Amino acid sequence: MSGAPLRTWRPAHRPEARDRRKLFDGVRDRAPPHFNQLWYIDAFAGTGFRTIKHVERRENLLEAAEPQRIEQRRGSAQIALGVKPRFDFTVFIDAKPSHAAALMDLRAKNPQRHIEVVNSDANQALRSIVEANSWASTRAVLFLDPYGMEVEWQTLEAVASTKAIDVWFLFPLSGLYLSIGLQI
Ligand SMILES: C[S@@+](CC[C@H](N)C(=O)[O-])C[C@H]1O[C@@H](n2cnc3c(N)ncnc32)[C@H](O)[C@@H]1O
Return the domain boundaries, the chain.
Answer: 8-179
* Residues forming beta bridges with residue 91, ordered by sequence position: 41, 116
Question: Which class for 171: exposed (0-12), middle (13-18), buried (19 or more C-beta within 10 A)?
Answer: middle
Average pLDDT over residues 156-181: 87
Task: Give the model's pLDDT for residue 74.
Answer: 96
> What are the tens digits of pLDDT across the range 19-71?
666 666 666 555 556 789 999 999 999 999 999 999 999 999 999 999 999 99
What is the chain's mean pLDDT, rounded? 86
**Cα of 137 to ligand 1 centre, how many Å?**
29
> What are the tens digits of pLDDT across the range 115-133?
999 999 999 999 999 999 9
Task: Give the model's pLDDT for residue 172.
Answer: 77
Q: Cis bond leading into 67, ω under 30°?
A: no
* Cβ 155 under 6 angstroms from ligand 1: no
Mutate which of 41, 94, 103, 120 to test ligand 1's pocket (most atoms within 8 Å of Cβ)? Answer: 94
**Cα of 145 to ligand 1 centre, how many Å?**
6
Task: Give the model's pLDDT for residue 75.
Answer: 97
Q: Residue 138 above 90 pLDDT? A: yes
CA geometry: angle 38, 125, 46, nearest 5 deg:
80
pTM of the model: 0.81
Phi, psi of 16 (to 5 degrees): -75, 165
Q: Which CATH number fits domain 8-179: 1.10.3470, 3.40.30, 3.40.50, 3.90.930?
A: 3.40.50
* Cβ 75 under 6 angstroms from ligand 1: yes
**Cα of 44 to ligand 1 centre, how many Å?**
4
* Cβ 76 under 6 angstroms from ligand 1: yes
Q: Residue 94 above 50 pLDDT? A: yes
Task: Give the model's pLDDT for residue 4.
Answer: 39
pLDDT greater at residue 36 or residue 107: 107
- Give the closest residue (by CA) to ligand 1 atom 17: 95
* Cβ 95 under 6 angstroms from ligand 1: yes
- pLDDT grade for 183, boundaries at 50, 70 and 90: low
Task: Give the model's pLDDT for residue 119.
Answer: 98
- Give the closest residue (by CA) to ligand 1 atom 18: 121
Q: Residue 184 above 70 pLDDT? A: no
